[in-house]
Amino acid sequence: MLNLHVPVATVLELSREPGTLEGYGPVTAEHVRMVRPHSFRRILVDATSGRPIAVDSRTVPVDPDPTAAHRQVRKVLRPDVITDTDEPQHDPSAGLARLVDVRDAHCCGPGCSSTRTDRDHLTPYPEGATSARNLGRLSRRCHRAKHSGWTLERHADGSTSWTSPLGRTSHRPSPHSPPPQVDLDQRSPRRRKPAVGRPSTNGRCTADEPPPTTLEAAIPPVVVPDGEPPF
Protein backbone atom coordinates (compact mmCIF):
# COMPACT_ATOMS: atom_id res chain seq x y z
CA MET A 1 0.00 0.00 0.00
CA LEU A 2 1.38 3.40 -1.03
CA ASN A 3 1.01 6.55 1.09
CA LEU A 4 1.09 9.85 -0.78
CA HIS A 5 1.10 13.18 1.11
CA VAL A 6 -0.35 16.06 -0.92
CA PRO A 7 -1.30 19.69 -0.06
CA VAL A 8 -5.04 20.30 -0.23
CA ALA A 9 -4.44 23.16 -2.67
CA THR A 10 -2.87 20.69 -5.11
CA VAL A 11 -5.77 18.27 -4.74
CA LEU A 12 -8.20 21.11 -5.55
CA GLU A 13 -6.00 22.23 -8.50
CA LEU A 14 -5.34 25.62 -6.93
CA SER A 15 -1.60 25.01 -6.65
CA ARG A 16 1.16 23.02 -8.30
CA GLU A 17 2.91 22.11 -5.04
CA PRO A 18 4.39 18.60 -5.28
CA GLY A 19 3.32 15.65 -3.19
CA THR A 20 5.60 13.29 -1.28
CA LEU A 21 5.52 9.53 -1.75
CA GLU A 22 6.62 7.72 1.41
CA GLY A 23 9.86 5.85 0.86
CA TYR A 24 10.54 7.63 -2.43
CA GLY A 25 10.40 11.42 -2.31
CA PRO A 26 8.75 14.34 -4.17
CA VAL A 27 6.07 13.65 -6.79
CA THR A 28 4.93 16.33 -9.24
CA ALA A 29 1.38 17.66 -9.26
CA GLU A 30 0.85 16.11 -12.71
CA HIS A 31 1.80 12.66 -11.44
CA VAL A 32 -0.33 13.15 -8.32
CA ARG A 33 -3.36 13.38 -10.60
CA MET A 34 -2.60 9.93 -12.00
CA VAL A 35 -3.36 8.35 -8.62
CA ARG A 36 -6.69 6.60 -8.11
CA PRO A 37 -6.85 6.31 -4.29
CA HIS A 38 -9.19 4.17 -2.23
CA SER A 39 -9.31 6.59 0.70
CA PHE A 40 -7.70 9.65 2.22
CA ARG A 41 -6.71 10.82 5.69
CA ARG A 42 -6.67 14.45 6.86
CA ILE A 43 -3.43 15.85 8.27
CA LEU A 44 -3.61 19.25 9.96
CA VAL A 45 -0.47 21.39 9.70
CA ASP A 46 0.75 24.63 11.23
CA ALA A 47 -0.03 27.48 8.84
CA THR A 48 3.36 29.17 9.29
CA SER A 49 5.75 26.21 9.29
CA GLY A 50 3.82 23.41 7.55
CA ARG A 51 4.63 21.09 10.44
CA PRO A 52 1.91 18.44 11.03
CA ILE A 53 0.14 18.91 14.35
CA ALA A 54 -2.68 16.35 14.10
CA VAL A 55 -3.61 13.31 12.02
CA ASP A 56 -7.14 11.94 11.76
CA SER A 57 -7.56 8.47 13.27
CA ARG A 58 -9.72 7.22 10.41
CA THR A 59 -9.52 7.19 6.66
CA VAL A 60 -12.39 8.36 4.44
CA PRO A 61 -13.34 6.32 1.35
CA VAL A 62 -12.99 8.34 -1.84
CA ASP A 63 -16.04 8.86 -4.01
CA PRO A 64 -15.30 7.51 -7.51
CA ASP A 65 -16.77 10.63 -9.09
CA PRO A 66 -14.05 13.36 -9.31
CA THR A 67 -16.51 16.20 -8.63
CA ALA A 68 -17.91 14.45 -5.56
CA ALA A 69 -14.36 13.69 -4.41
CA HIS A 70 -13.52 17.41 -4.55
CA ARG A 71 -16.56 18.12 -2.40
CA GLN A 72 -15.33 15.54 0.11
CA VAL A 73 -12.03 17.37 0.45
CA ARG A 74 -13.68 20.76 0.89
CA LYS A 75 -15.99 19.29 3.52
CA VAL A 76 -13.06 18.36 5.81
CA LEU A 77 -11.61 21.90 5.62
CA ARG A 78 -12.77 23.00 9.03
CA PRO A 79 -10.96 24.59 11.99
CA ASP A 80 -10.14 22.33 14.93
CA VAL A 81 -8.72 22.84 18.40
CA ILE A 82 -5.64 20.62 18.80
CA THR A 83 -4.61 19.45 22.28
CA ASP A 84 -1.30 17.70 22.95
CA THR A 85 -2.47 15.22 25.56
CA ASP A 86 -0.03 13.28 27.76
CA GLU A 87 -0.38 9.49 27.70
CA PRO A 88 0.31 7.46 30.86
CA GLN A 89 2.33 4.64 29.25
CA HIS A 90 5.87 4.55 27.82
CA ASP A 91 5.00 3.50 24.24
CA PRO A 92 2.73 5.92 22.35
CA SER A 93 -0.73 4.93 21.20
CA ALA A 94 -1.29 4.15 17.53
CA GLY A 95 -2.65 7.66 16.88
CA LEU A 96 0.24 9.43 18.59
CA ALA A 97 2.79 7.18 16.89
CA ARG A 98 1.22 7.98 13.51
CA LEU A 99 1.47 11.71 14.16
CA VAL A 100 5.13 11.50 15.23
CA ASP A 101 6.05 9.38 12.19
CA VAL A 102 4.31 11.73 9.73
CA ARG A 103 5.53 14.90 11.42
CA ASP A 104 9.21 14.00 11.69
CA ALA A 105 9.46 12.10 8.36
CA HIS A 106 12.92 10.71 9.23
CA CYS A 107 15.71 10.88 11.80
CA CYS A 108 16.68 14.42 12.75
CA GLY A 109 20.29 13.59 13.65
CA PRO A 110 23.19 15.54 12.09
CA GLY A 111 23.68 14.23 8.57
CA CYS A 112 21.21 11.37 9.11
CA SER A 113 17.97 10.89 7.17
CA SER A 114 17.26 7.28 8.07
CA THR A 115 13.62 6.19 8.14
CA ARG A 116 14.47 3.23 10.37
CA THR A 117 13.89 5.02 13.64
CA ASP A 118 12.89 4.76 17.28
CA ARG A 119 10.32 7.08 18.84
CA ASP A 120 12.57 8.74 21.37
CA HIS A 121 11.50 10.68 24.47
CA LEU A 122 13.35 14.01 24.45
CA THR A 123 13.17 14.02 28.25
CA PRO A 124 13.45 10.35 29.32
CA TYR A 125 10.30 8.63 30.56
CA PRO A 126 8.82 8.80 33.21
CA GLU A 127 10.23 12.28 33.95
CA GLY A 128 9.25 13.24 30.41
CA ALA A 129 5.71 12.68 29.17
CA THR A 130 4.65 10.41 26.32
CA SER A 131 3.30 13.20 24.13
CA ALA A 132 3.82 14.76 20.73
CA ARG A 133 5.96 17.57 22.14
CA ASN A 134 8.32 15.12 23.89
CA LEU A 135 8.59 12.44 21.19
CA GLY A 136 10.67 12.39 18.02
CA ARG A 137 12.19 10.00 15.52
CA LEU A 138 15.84 9.00 15.92
CA SER A 139 17.86 6.27 14.25
CA ARG A 140 19.59 3.81 16.54
CA ARG A 141 22.95 5.53 15.91
CA CYS A 142 21.62 9.00 16.75
CA HIS A 143 19.62 7.60 19.65
CA ARG A 144 22.81 6.18 21.17
CA ALA A 145 24.60 9.49 20.55
CA LYS A 146 21.87 11.35 22.45
CA HIS A 147 22.49 9.10 25.44
CA SER A 148 26.28 9.38 25.10
CA GLY A 149 26.92 13.07 25.60
CA TRP A 150 25.18 14.76 22.66
CA THR A 151 22.41 17.23 23.53
CA LEU A 152 19.28 17.52 21.37
CA GLU A 153 16.98 20.55 21.29
CA ARG A 154 13.74 20.47 19.30
CA HIS A 155 12.22 23.73 18.01
CA ALA A 156 8.57 24.60 17.37
CA ASP A 157 9.03 24.80 13.58
CA GLY A 158 10.36 21.22 13.41
CA SER A 159 14.05 22.11 13.21
CA THR A 160 16.56 20.70 15.71
CA SER A 161 19.89 21.68 17.23
CA TRP A 162 22.55 19.18 18.31
CA THR A 163 25.45 20.02 20.62
CA SER A 164 28.41 17.66 20.73
CA PRO A 165 30.30 16.71 23.92
CA LEU A 166 32.97 19.22 22.82
CA GLY A 167 30.42 22.03 22.71
CA ARG A 168 30.03 22.34 18.94
CA THR A 169 26.41 22.95 17.80
CA SER A 170 24.90 21.97 14.45
CA HIS A 171 21.45 22.97 13.21
CA ARG A 172 19.11 20.66 11.30
CA PRO A 173 16.29 22.40 9.36
CA SER A 174 12.68 21.27 9.46
CA PRO A 175 11.65 18.65 6.86
CA HIS A 176 8.52 20.72 6.17
CA SER A 177 7.78 24.02 4.46
CA PRO A 178 4.82 26.42 4.85
CA PRO A 179 1.70 25.47 2.88
CA PRO A 180 0.94 27.54 -0.24
CA GLN A 181 -1.12 30.69 0.31
CA VAL A 182 -4.18 30.26 -1.88
CA ASP A 183 -7.83 31.24 -1.86
CA LEU A 184 -9.70 27.97 -1.32
CA ASP A 185 -12.93 29.63 -2.45
CA GLN A 186 -11.64 30.41 -5.92
CA ARG A 187 -12.43 28.14 -8.83
CA SER A 188 -9.83 25.88 -10.34
CA PRO A 189 -8.40 27.38 -13.55
CA ARG A 190 -10.07 26.13 -16.71
CA ARG A 191 -7.82 23.78 -18.60
CA ARG A 192 -6.73 24.82 -22.06
CA LYS A 193 -7.71 22.56 -24.92
CA PRO A 194 -4.73 21.23 -26.89
CA ALA A 195 -4.21 22.85 -30.28
CA VAL A 196 -5.09 20.74 -33.30
CA GLY A 197 -2.15 20.01 -35.53
CA ARG A 198 0.36 17.44 -36.71
CA PRO A 199 4.00 17.15 -35.64
CA SER A 200 6.49 18.73 -38.00
CA THR A 201 10.15 17.93 -38.48
CA ASN A 202 11.19 20.70 -36.06
CA GLY A 203 9.19 19.19 -33.19
CA ARG A 204 6.31 21.71 -33.37
CA CYS A 205 2.76 21.13 -34.50
CA THR A 206 1.09 22.10 -37.73
CA ALA A 207 -2.52 21.64 -38.78
CA ASP A 208 -4.48 18.39 -39.18
CA GLU A 209 -3.42 16.18 -36.21
CA PRO A 210 -3.55 16.77 -32.43
CA PRO A 211 -0.25 17.04 -30.55
CA PRO A 212 0.79 14.48 -27.91
CA THR A 213 -1.52 14.68 -24.90
CA THR A 214 0.09 15.82 -21.66
CA LEU A 215 -0.42 13.97 -18.39
CA GLU A 216 -2.25 16.93 -16.87
CA ALA A 217 -4.73 17.12 -19.71
CA ALA A 218 -5.30 13.39 -19.72
CA ILE A 219 -5.90 12.88 -16.01
CA PRO A 220 -9.08 14.15 -14.32
CA PRO A 221 -8.80 15.72 -10.85
CA VAL A 222 -8.87 13.19 -8.01
CA VAL A 223 -8.49 13.12 -4.25
CA VAL A 224 -5.04 11.98 -3.19
CA PRO A 225 -4.44 9.65 -0.19
CA ASP A 226 -2.34 10.39 2.85
CA GLY A 227 -2.04 7.88 5.69
CA GLU A 228 -2.19 4.18 6.54
CA PRO A 229 -4.04 1.32 4.79
CA PRO A 230 -6.18 1.32 2.81
CA PHE A 231 -4.71 4.82 2.33
- Asked if pLDDT for residue 102 goes beyond 90, the answer is yes
Is the torsion defined by CA of 139, 140, 145, 148 positive or negative? positive
- Whether the CB-CB separation of 44 and 82 falls below 8 Å is answered with yes
Residue 190: band (very low, low, confident or very high) from pLDDT cuts 50, 70, 90:
low
Instruction: Quote the pTM value.
Output: 0.74
Cβ neighbourhood burial of 33 (10 Å; 0-12, 13-18, 19+): buried
Spans of all domains in the chain: 4-81+177-218, 106-172
pLDDT digits (tens, 9 = 90+) for 17-45: 888 888 788 899 888 877 878 899 999 99
Largest CA distance in the chain: 75
